[in-house]
Structures are given as C-alpha cells and as structure tokens.
A and B are shown apart, each in its own frame.
Chain A
C-alpha cells in the first residue's frame, strides 16, 4: 500500500511537470513558429556532440530559415580549425587614427544588428599623457569632425581570444569554447542567454541580443560560418571570432583589411615567419590586463622609432 502510494505520487508529479513544461512552452511559443522546424531546433544537440551528418542537417535547416527570413540564399559553413594554426592579432597603437573603419568593416562582414546597434569592436580614445591604462579615463563615444585629433590616441578593443578565457570557464552550458586554432566561439543555438560570460569577460568583448537582431536583407553578408557571422537570435550572446569564416580559409579578418593605416596585424602564432611573430619579437608588446592571467592572443604595441 505504502509502496503503491509512492509510485502513484511520482507518476502524478511527473505528469504534472511535463504538463506544466508543455504549458510553459506553449505560452512562450510564437504561433507562427509552431511547426516541425521549431521542435527540431528545440531538440538540437550540443554542437560538439553532433556527427558531421547531424551538423549538415542542422545547417541546411538553418539555411532554409535564413532564406525565408531574408529572401536570399545564405550559406552557413562549418570549416574546422586548420592543424598547426594558432591565430594571433597585433595592433599598432602608434598608427591607429581612431577612424572606426574597422568597426564598420566588422559590422558589414559579420552581420551585426543595426537596430539595436551591435559593434564587436570598441575604439577607446585617451588623452595623451594621462594615466591611460586606467580605462575609466577613456571615451568610447567620441565624435569629432576629423580624426586623428591632436592630443589624443586611440585603442580599439575586441575579443582578445584568451588562451585562458574566463567566459568559457563560467558558461553553465558549454555553449562557448576555445577551438584548436585559439578562437573562442559560441554556438548561438545552445546559448541560454544567462550572460554570465559577459560578467566574466574583462575586456567588455561580448554583446547580447537584447532584442531580435535587425539587419536589412540587402546588407546581409551571405557567406557565413556556423560559429561566426551567421544571423543570430534574440536572447543570445555574440562577439568577435577573428572572422572565423575568412581566416579559416586563408583570408585576413575584415578589420585588418578595413584599416587604412595598417595598424592591424594578423597571423599564425605557430609560424615563426608570420608578421605577428615579427611584431612580438621586435616591438615592445603588451596585452590588456595581463595581471588577470587570461593570456590574450591580442597584442598591442607601439611601432614608431622602428
């Protein structure tokens, strides 16, 4: 009798819970999306637990969805990290003129939302000669007629692709991780939007989709990567991926190409002949907030005087 009680109570509770879960799901479910692909997306597995075939299926579903939304064909690639490659970035502070061409080059390449506005690169302006490691004295919203301004210098900041990334450590669902080529990536289909990574990032590199991302179809870059610049969703985190869709096929990141003064350097840290290795060897480089032991692969340096 006692035993029966327990059994039936358990059953009731389970039924109640699943009923409640369904009810909640129904509540949250926009009616027009209540179709098969919604449930496919809902039950999609963790990216690193899927086989290539499963990833292929997911990607074709996502491509179809994108095409429906933007009325144009969008390819979602899944290029893997190349063996023997560890990407590193160099930024010459003595050359940067604060023009923000990198910011907009990045936005156009990586399909960031225009309204609400999302930028993966922040350019900070400092007054020359002031205590400038104190980031609090920087200005993010500077807006003069002409750059560079006398008395100021500029420091662009984006994801530093830490070797020891605090954001990856804190993510409760393993939705963000460091790939073998050192790029910290996010699976936008797995992120629950808790924003713990944003609290953990010492570089303010992560951006949240506070609303549904909004970008006109004609401005969508159709060449995308699953872990990079594919269209994102409301309620997930995104950030710079060193243009994973370009760099994994041997191209430079968009910001490197956009820079009119050649302040941005990019290359393979494992290749002794790369430009980035040259800069690290011959310039006085530093990394942001070294004391935190995050070990960024983003090097700042001053090149004048050679």
Chain B
C-alpha cells in the first residue's frame, strides 16, 4: 500500500515537473481544452442546434473525427505485428509509443461520441445489465464493446510493460503474450465494426458497399503510422530515446503498401459508382463533382485525392521515403488526405442527398470546430502525460520503488533472540542457548540496551580452557557489529560480508536488540521477492 502511494507520487511528480517548454506546451493544450470545454457547456445548454447538423445531415464533424481516430487507434497493430510476431527489433523498441498513441486515440473517439450525443447523461443506457444494450443487433453496441475492449487491452499491455521496466525487470511474455496476440485481431475489429456501423445501413447507398471495411482498414494503415512517424521523430529529438532510422523506414515502406491498396480499393469503388451510374451514385457525384450546384465538398475531395496520390509515390520510392524531408512531406500529405477522405468525405455524402432526395449542405460551425479542437487537445494532453512518464522509465532514468527497495531488516529478521544481563553466569547462559537452540545471546544493561554479544563458540572456548564461575560480561565481544531495524535489505548483505559474520543483532532506535538477521534470512527474502 505504502509502495503504491509512493509510486503514485513519483509518477505524479514526474508528470508535474518539467522545463519551461513542457509547461508552455501543457498550458497551450489546457487553454484549448478549456476553450472546447466552454463551447461544450454552451452545447449542453442550448442543444446540438449550435452545430450545423440537422435532420437531413444528422451526423457531421464529430462523427467524422471519430471515424478518422478509430483508424489511428487501429494502426497500432501495424507496429505490434512486426514487433512481437516477427521480433523485428528496431520496431519492438518503439511499439510501446504506438500503443500509447492508440490509448490517446480511443480516448478521443469516446469523447467525440459523447459530445455527439443529445442526452450524454443517459450514456449508461447503452451498457449491458444496468442499461439495455441492444446487442448483437445494433452495430453501435458492438462498437461500444470493441472500442472499450481495445482501450483496456492496450492500457494493460502498455502499463504492464512500463511497470516492469520501472522496477528494473523485463516484462514476461507469458503474461502479456496472449493479450498482444488478441490485440491484433481486435485492432482489425474496431475498424471493421466501425465500418459496418455505416456499411449496414441500406438506407444510405453511399455507405452500403461491401468495400467499405477493407477501405477503412487500408486508409487507417496509412494515416495512423504516418502520425506515429512524425511523433517518433519528435520523441527522438526531445528525449534520449533512440529510435533507429531502420524502424522509421520500415514503417514508411508499410505505409506505401497500405496506400497502394487504399488507392486501388477507392478506384474500384469510383469505377463501380460512375460506370453503373444508377441513382445510388448521386452521393459520390456530390463528393467529386457537386450536385445541382451544391459543391461544398468538391475542392476538399480533390485536394485529398492529390495529397494521397503524391504521398503514395513519395512512400513508394526508397529514395524519397528514406529522405526525411520528403518522408515528412509524405506523412503530412497522408494525414491530411486521409483525414478528409475518411472524415467528412465519408460521413457527409452518406447524407447528401438525404433519403427523400433533399440536398442540405453541411459545413461545421465555429462551436463544433472549437469543441473538436478541445478534444484533440485532450488527446494530445493524454499522450504528452503518458510520454512524460514513459520515456524516463523507458530510458532507465526513472525507477519506481519496488519491494526489494522497501524491505528492511525489521521485515526479514528473526524475532527469536536471547538477551541476558552482564552478570548472568556462563553456566546459565549455556543452558539458555542450548534449550532455545540459539547460536548466540545479546548482553544488555538494565535498560535493555545492547552492550555486547556472546556466541556459542566464545562459551565453548571459555568452558574448555578455564574453570567456571565467570559471568557473561567477562567473555562478551563489544557490539560493533549490530544493525538497525530500518536498514534496507541491500545494505544488510554488505554489512554481513564486510564483518565476516553470518548473524547480526537488529537494534531499534533505543539500541535495544529486537531480532537478528542471518545470511540465510537475506537469501530467503531475495528469493521470495524474485519469485513474485
């Protein structure tokens, strides 16, 4: 318990104390969070009317951001597979930062869903048992399960690894191995379920295409890792964490493949929609060319298309993906490109034209944007705090208090000792030691303070060489070799070794003997700690 509280404060201090740059960054993010929070309070009071959403376009910017971020969260798997399954060492060293990114992304996803709800206080209605979760019929119920499960899995993995590192130990694959294996299909599932959420609606032909889930995954494996590449470079620059170029280039290569698949799938969809040209192609016409003079999304769509295509080629050629200038350009292109394509570019055309053929053009209001920025700032804040703690643990500069450091002489000592007054006769002393099976006795004064020790061997040699009639004080050795009760286990071993003795008395503050520690007591304790 003490240990937990102590470690909590160590973690808190690590997060709370930083340099000016760190405080400036936290202050900046907190400002954005506060701004978003106050806009959200306005939304709570007035209702979602402050957004540009209406009955025709009933989901907008919030759900667009949610969809994009599910992809970012799912992309952690792109690091997990090479790291744990193929044991690719350069990536294994950084997979933790990917998992932390997944945690922040899911946090943002949940917040985006919360701010989109008309009755956020009723959120518990969606839970099983206490609520009335419509499982398995509703894909939104599935999404609640898989998103929270993914959050839990990644939190357990990341914090278990950090905890082991923080007490100076390797993590055990026997503990997290199964979770890591589980996290791979789970990452695929969060994105598949989110795609199915839209995909399953026959009312919305734009979403009702079976290519949607594969497209979701492919684009997620572009944007998520691209964000990680940028973050890794920042982490590498600002801290002592070493991230090999090899790892970065490998991820860039994987993005190239994902982007290739993404563009292919997109092309397949565009072909089908435009070539068949049924009335169900109206949404994609709206997206690319506008419909009846309504073309809010058109410039964005083409902007995203150009970005994604250029990023694809930049990632494809080793020359450009292994040059940090072109690599970072490609990353930024792909992040913005997918953000548009998978965000507004996916959600809004689902509603335009609406099911009765009306075209309502949607552009988010300032309040919507401010609330969204606030949520992004929360995500950045969560990631920053986690990194602030994880990086020093990771580099070995921060170590938590562990049991081994906490164990004192008092915890491991044997309380069975014999104390005698100085005028005790040797006969009596010998009888005492024999009857209690003790190798030695402490000689104490009237106040029970240690003044010397008498060992078996000392008595034996006196017994044999001289006649009886002597007292304990005559044969005792001075108490130079004594230890205090609050000495740490590490020190004890050293003292025993230095003094070349195998048993020492433990004294309390008043110099009174309260127990003894032997070499085998220490060994036993160490063994016990290691077994945990």
Contacts and interface: CB of A to CB of B under 8 A. Distances in A.
B132 A191 contact: no
Interface string B40-66: 010011111101011110110000000
Contacts of A140: 356, 358
A134 B291 CA distance: 14
A9 B117 contact: no
Given A27-B41, A204-B55, A170 B201 contact: yes
B126 A172 contact: yes
Nearest to B200: A170
B263 interface: no
Interface in A253-285: none
A174 interface: yes
Contacts of B116: 194-195
Interface string A138-151: 10100000000000
Contact of B201 (A2, A122, A166, A236): A166
A265 B498 CA distance: 104
B355 interface: yes
A169 B137 contact: yes
Contact of B140 (A116, A170, A202): A170
A208 to B, nearest CB: 6
Interface in B335-364: 350-351, 353-359
B149 to A, nearest CB: 16
Nearest to A203: B355
A122 B357 CA distance: 12
B201 A235 contact: no
A191 B120 CA distance: 10
A157 B140 CA distance: 27
B201 A234 contact: no
A8 B1 contact: yes
Interface in B187-211: 197-198, 200-204
A199 B350 contact: yes
Nearest to A207: B55
A193 B356 contact: no
B528 to A, nearest CB: 10
Interface in B22-52: 41, 44-49, 51
Contacts, number: 165
B416 interface: no
B458 interface: no
A25 interface: yes
A34 interface: no
A53 interface: no
A204 B122 CA distance: 25
Contacts of A191: 118-119, 122
Nearest to B54: A210
Q: Is the interface of A mostly helix, strand, loop or mixed?
A: loop
A70 interface: no
A2 B532 contact: yes
B141 interface: yes
Interface string A198-230: 111111101111111000000000000000000
Contacts of B134: 171-174
Contacts of B44: 27-28
Interface residues of B, number: 58
A223 to B, nearest CB: 26
A4 interface: yes
Contact of A234 (B41, B118, B353): B118
B403 interface: yes
B519 interface: no
B415 interface: no
A286 B59 CA distance: 31
A209 B118 contact: yes
Contact of A292 (B4, B141, B197, B202): B202
Contacts of B197: 196
Given A170-B139, A170-B140, A202-B202, A194 B357 contact: no
A192 B117 contact: yes
Contacts of B202: 166, 202, 292-293
Given A194-B116, A207-B55, A202 B125 contact: no
A156 to B, nearest CB: 11
B532 A199 contact: no
Contact of B138 (A25, A196, A207): A196
B121 interface: yes
Contact of B282 (A116, A136, A201): A136
B279 interface: yes
B133 A173 contact: yes
A135 interface: yes
B131 interface: yes
B3 interface: yes
Interface in B118-173: 118-123, 125-126, 131-134, 137-141, 144
Contacts of A190: 122, 125, 132
Contacts of A49: 132
Contacts of B53: 210
A196 to B, nearest CB: 5
Shortest beta-carbon contacts, A-B, top 5:
A193-B118, A235-B118, A135-B357, A136-B357, A202-B203
Interface of A: 1-2, 4-5, 8-9, 25, 27-28, 30, 42, 46, 49, 116, 122, 124, 134-138, 140, 157, 166, 169-175, 190-196, 198-204, 206-212, 233-237, 292-293
Interface of B: 1, 3-4, 41, 44-49, 51, 53-56, 58-59, 113, 116-123, 125-126, 131-134, 137-141, 144, 197-198, 200-204, 279, 282, 350-351, 353-359, 403, 532
30 contacts: A1-B3, A42-B121, A134-B279, A135-B355, A135-B356, A172-B138, A172-B144, A173-B132, A174-B134, A190-B132, A191-B118, A191-B119, A193-B117, A193-B118, A194-B118, A195-B59, A196-B140, A199-B59, A199-B204, A202-B355, A203-B355, A203-B356, A204-B55, A204-B358, A210-B51, A211-B49, A233-B119, A234-B118, A235-B119, A292-B203
